[in-house]
A and B are shown apart, each in its own frame.
Chain A
Amino acid sequence: MEHMSKSGPVFRMVGLNHRTAPLLVRENLAFSEQDCSAALRRVTELYPQSETAILSTCNRVELYVAAGPHGPTLEQMTAFLADFHHVSVQELRSHTYQHENQAMVEHLFQVASSLDSMVLGETQILAQVKQAYQRAAEGKTVGTLFHALFQRALAAAKDVHDRTELSTGRTSLATIAVALVQRVFDQLRDKTVLVIGAGKISRLVLRQLGALGPRKILLANRTPQRALDLGTSVAMEIADLAHLDQLLVEADVVLTGTGSTEPVISAEMVRKRLKARQYRPMFIVDLAVPRDVEAAVGSLTNIYLYNIDDLENLAEENRRRRGDQIAASLQVIKEHAEEFLHWFSARNTGPLVKQLYANCRRISDAELAGLLAAHPEFTPEQRQALARTLHRVVGKILHQPVSFLTGKTPSHDQVHLTAAMETLFGLTDKPGGGADDAHAAPDSMGQ
């Protein structure tokens, strides 16, 4: 990849997510694996000096570009997305957001850390960001800048998960239900799971419970065909709901989700079976609305009852706890963004400083040559003294601004200062070539 220009914005992104665009729009804008590779190639063909990556998940589509003056503008990036997916720019614009430079860097770090996710703290997005980066790397559409940027984004996300409690606690009802089962039973290898009715959440819970390898899954449903349909995905036995009393003796875990308006399991029914069960613990998850299990069942000896509201309350509590971690997570992200932008600025300021000194010395040398030509009577010692004096003057004049530029200036100030130096001193040409040969990414980028 060619080096990005020192002038103007360098990092740009255009995207949409679950907050800015409805599902229909996100579906239309989503990139398949092949589409993604094709789009990356096309951007690179159109803007060969740019670095490009595309993040496309079910909740977001984002186009990232590191570009100089000849790279795509934000408007052109929006137009590219619209054109690629055959939608109008006007329609797309109403759903997109855009970020440049520091804001873009922080946005990517927040996305990778799942601070921008629909489910705060989920970890799937980290794998998706990694995949987007790897795809772009394989397509050779990323260079030094995006290698460093994405590696730093992954490191920042890992740091957020390690240093905060953003990802602690489960937030999906199915995983909460399974975790509760595991708080009662150490393992399910010798346990029987009874499923009464099978709604969507029941099937999700059952799929996860099935992965724990229960001894037996009994499916009692009013509709035999429905039971058979479900039985194809998970190995289970079909049971007769008419013998529920007997099934309750055998079951260790009960999942209910019928459409019945009356309770299917009464406290009296369970109480009568306690002795036959030898007072073994039983965990009941009532996913039905209205409830299938009488609330009094939950107060029986060694019987634990959770209904859909209980699961939702736990999920909400975990979401709240995760929400409390946002400020701490943003602080971690800020640290990483600062470090990255410092590296990036230092990477740009090195050649800039070199060029600044070269320009000033060229001017002073020219002035000195004119002076010496006009005064042939100067001795060699005097000529050398004049040359040394001029060099010292140039050095002293440039010392303060260069020190300020290369010192620990906040990264956003450094970007502006760099741009100001370029403009004020007319440093439009960059000696020494492209980005790849300037400064290598620091070690931390390679985490």
Chain B
Amino acid sequence: MLHDTPNITYVEFISLLVAGLCFVLAFTFQVAEMRRTPQASDAASCPGFSNASTAWVAGGAVLSAAILIWRGWRFGLWSLPLSDYFDAGLLLAILLTGLWMWFCWTRQLKALAIFLLPLTGVLILVGGILGVVGYRNFNTANPWIALHIGSILIGTVCFAAGCVSGLGYLLADRQLRKKKENWPLPSLTRLEAFNRHAILLGFPLLTIAAITGIFEALKNPQTAGPDWYWSAKVILTVVAWAVYAPLLHVKLTPSFRGARAAWLSILGFALLLAVYALAGFG
């Protein structure tokens, strides 16, 4: 299955696997450190941030950036390449590392950072595998497709933030209901507010991505294929859009808050990942 394609070399693929492994190792070290020092008085002093885990995150991000720069140089470009899923996975890893750093910097959201690591590892590996197995040239010279891909990438980061804050919310809710204090997490209201803001940013991007995608499909029906509008990819995108929509209107749909909102933001992100996978293999 693994072989050099015209666009992805074997060395690049192995390097991507190593980068993904870095994030997985960072996650492992962070969990181990948290288990070693499970107690902390508040979310700001969240344990688990050892030098080892930080070093692995930095290693993963630097390696991802190096592969992208190398590919840009190889293709004779002087900008970051964004030609296929392989590059998209690497770029997402760098963007999510930025989000990880921001979580750490804000301190109050530091406890959420750990959730990002396995997510980053999975995204980079899926991107790499899709790039090799189901290679698809994004043709970003087309401005509509460039907008489509750009919206998806930045939107994915926003929804990833929504997903991890949703996970954090459910964990904090569970701890409160179980009457345990195992892990210091931000307050429920802070997690909920962050979740809403993340989706508020991601939703317009998802909408733009959907509109530009539809526009391109209508313009090039031969590429999109017959009955493209009934494809699983399109249906799942619409479902994901519908899942996120009520989260933006708390006043109109007050019951979609708290744990329900958290579940929906996780479900929405899972649907988006499914859409990416379908788009890659389809």
Cross-chain contact of A186 among B190, B255, B257 (Cβ < 8 A):
B190
Cross-chain contact of B255 among A169, A183, A279, A298 (Cβ < 8 A):
A279
Minimal beta-carbon separation of B75 from chain A (angstroms)? 47
Please name all residues of chain A whose beta carbon is closer than 8 Å to the beta carbon of B179 when the two chains form the complex. Answer: 306, 310, 313-314
With A184-B188, A310-B179 in contact, is A301–B39 under 8 Å at CB? no
- A304 contacts B by Cβ under 8 Å: yes
- A165 contacts B by Cβ under 8 Å: yes
- The reply to whether A183 and B172 form a contact with Cβ atoms under 8 Å apart is yes
- B3 contacts A by Cβ under 8 Å: no
- The reply to whether B258 and A301 form a contact with Cβ atoms under 8 Å apart is yes
- B187 contacts A by Cβ under 8 Å: yes
Minimal beta-carbon separation of A329 from chain B (angstroms)? 15
Please name all residues of chain A whose beta carbon is closer than 8 Å to the beta carbon of B190 when the two chains form the complex. Answer: 186
- The reply to whether A180 and B176 form a contact with Cβ atoms under 8 Å apart is yes
- The reply to whether B177 and A302 form a contact with Cβ atoms under 8 Å apart is no
- A266 contacts B by Cβ under 8 Å: no
Bound Cα distance A280, B187 (Å): 14
Cross-chain contact of A279 among B39, B41, B187, B254 (Cβ < 8 A):
B254
Minimal beta-carbon separation of B80 from chain A (angstroms)? 37
* Contact size range, B: 20 to 34
Please name all residues of chain B whose beta carbon is closer than 8 Å to the beta carbon of A182 when the two chains form the complex. Answer: 187
Minimal beta-carbon separation of B210 from chain A (angstroms)? 29
Please name all residues of chain A whose beta carbon is closer than 8 Å to the beta carbon of B188 when the two chains form the complex. Answer: 183-185, 281
With both beta carbons as reference points, the residue of chain A lying nearest to B251 in the complex is identified as A278
Bound Cα distance A168, B250 (Å): 38
- The reply to whether B258 and A281 form a contact with Cβ atoms under 8 Å apart is yes
Minimal beta-carbon separation of B142 from chain A (angstroms)? 45
Contact with A along B8-41 (1 / 0, CB 8 A): 0000000000000000000000000000000111
With A185-B187, A186-B189, A301-B258 in contact, is A169–B39 under 8 Å at CB? yes
Contact with B along A278-312 (1 / 0, CB 8 A): 11110000000000000000100110101000100
- A321 contacts B by Cβ under 8 Å: yes
Minimal beta-carbon separation of A366 from chain B (angstroms)? 67
Chain B residues numbered 182-226 whose CB sits less than 8 Å from any CB in chain A: 185-190, 193
- B181 contacts A by Cβ under 8 Å: yes
Cross-chain contact of B254 among A180, A183, A278 (Cβ < 8 A):
A278
With A183-B188, A184-B189 in contact, is A301–B259 under 8 Å at CB? yes
Contact with B along A166-204 (1 / 0, CB 8 A): 001100000000001011111000000000000000000
With both beta carbons as reference points, the residue of chain A lying nearest to B255 in the complex is identified as A279
Minimal beta-carbon separation of B144 from chain A (angstroms)? 40
Question: Interface majority SS on B: helix, strand, loop or mixed?
Answer: loop
With A275-B254, A301-B258 in contact, is A165–B189 under 8 Å at CB? no
Bound Cα distance A279, B251 (Å): 10
Bound Cα distance A306, B88 (Å): 47
- The reply to whether B39 and A321 form a contact with Cβ atoms under 8 Å apart is yes
- The reply to whether A302 and B176 form a contact with Cβ atoms under 8 Å apart is no
- The reply to whether A183 and B258 form a contact with Cβ atoms under 8 Å apart is no
Minimal beta-carbon separation of A156 from chain B (angstroms)? 22
Bound Cα distance A298, B176 (Å): 10
Chain A residues numbered 247-301 whose CB sits less than 8 Å from any CB in chain B: 275, 278-281, 298, 301
With A279-B257, A302-B259 in contact, is A183–B39 under 8 Å at CB? no
Bound Cα distance A165, B260 (Å): 36
Bound Cα distance A14, B177 (Å): 49
Contact with A along B247-281 (1 / 0, CB 8 A): 00011001101111000000000000000000000
* Contact size range, A: 20 to 34
Please name all residues of chain A whose beta carbon is closer than 8 Å to the beta carbon of B177 when the two chains form the complex. Answer: 298, 304
Contact with A along B137-174 (1 / 0, CB 8 A): 00000000000000000000000000000000000100
- The reply to whether B176 and A304 form a contact with Cβ atoms under 8 Å apart is yes
Cross-chain contact of A183 among B187, B257, B259, B260 (Cβ < 8 A):
B187
Minimal beta-carbon separation of A100 from chain B (angstroms)? 37
Minimal beta-carbon separation of B181 from chain A (angstroms)? 7
With A275-B254, A313-B179 in contact, is A184–B259 under 8 Å at CB? no
Please name all residues of chain A whose beta carbon is closer than 8 Å to the beta carbon of B185 when the two chains form the complex. Answer: 183
Bound Cα distance A304, B40 (Å): 22
With both beta carbons as reference points, the residue of chain B lying nearest to A278 in the complex is identified as B254
Minimal beta-carbon separation of B261 from chain A (angstroms)? 10
Bound Cα distance A317, B175 (Å): 14
Bound Cα distance A301, B262 (Å): 13
Bound Cα distance A278, B186 (Å): 22
- The reply to whether B39 and A314 form a contact with Cβ atoms under 8 Å apart is no
With both beta carbons as reference points, the residue of chain B lying nearest to A165 in the complex is identified as B39
With both beta carbons as reference points, the residue of chain B lying nearest to A325 in the complex is identified as B39
Bound Cα distance A275, B177 (Å): 21
With both beta carbons as reference points, the residue of chain B lying nearest to A190 in the complex is identified as B189
Please name all residues of chain B whose beta carbon is closer than 8 Å to the beta carbon of A302 when the two chains form the complex. Answer: 257-259
Please name all residues of chain B whose beta carbon is closer than 8 Å to the beta carbon of A280 when the two chains form the complex. Answer: 257
With both beta carbons as reference points, the residue of chain B lying nearest to A313 in the complex is identified as B179
- The reply to whether B187 and A184 form a contact with Cβ atoms under 8 Å apart is yes
Minimal beta-carbon separation of B173 from chain A (angstroms)? 8
Chain B residues numbered 30-86 whose CB sits less than 8 Å from any CB in chain A: 39-41
Please name all residues of chain A whose beta carbon is closer than 8 Å to the beta carbon of B187 when the two chains form the complex. Answer: 182-186
Bound Cα distance A304, B173 (Å): 9
Bound Cα distance A165, B175 (Å): 21
Minimal beta-carbon separation of B230 from chain A (angstroms)? 36
Bound Cα distance A306, B181 (Å): 13
Please name all residues of chain B whose beta carbon is closer than 8 Å to the beta carbon of A275 when the two chains form the complex. Answer: 254-255
Minimal beta-carbon separation of B225 from chain A (angstroms)? 43
Bound Cα distance A279, B260 (Å): 11
Contact with B along A407-427 (1 / 0, CB 8 A): 000000000000000000000
Minimal beta-carbon separation of B178 from chain A (angstroms)? 10
Please name all residues of chain B whose beta carbon is closer than 8 Å to the beta carbon of A184 when the two chains form the complex. Answer: 176, 187-189
Please name all residues of chain B whose beta carbon is closer than 8 Å to the beta carbon of A186 when the two chains form the complex. Answer: 186-187, 189-190, 193
With both beta carbons as reference points, the residue of chain A lying nearest to B37 in the complex is identified as A165
- The reply to whether B189 and A281 form a contact with Cβ atoms under 8 Å apart is yes
By a beta-carbon cutoff of 8 Å, the part of chain B in contact with chain A is 39-41, 172, 175-177, 179, 181, 185-190, 193, 250-251, 254-255, 257-260
9 contacts between A and B (CB under 8 A): A169-B39, A182-B187, A183-B188, A185-B189, A278-B251, A278-B254, A304-B176, A304-B177, A321-B39
17 more A-B contacts (CB under 8 A) besides A183-B175, A183-B185? A168-B41, A169-B41, A180-B176, A183-B172, A183-B176, A185-B188, A186-B189, A186-B190, A275-B254, A275-B255, A279-B254, A279-B258, A281-B258, A298-B177, A301-B258, A304-B177, A313-B179
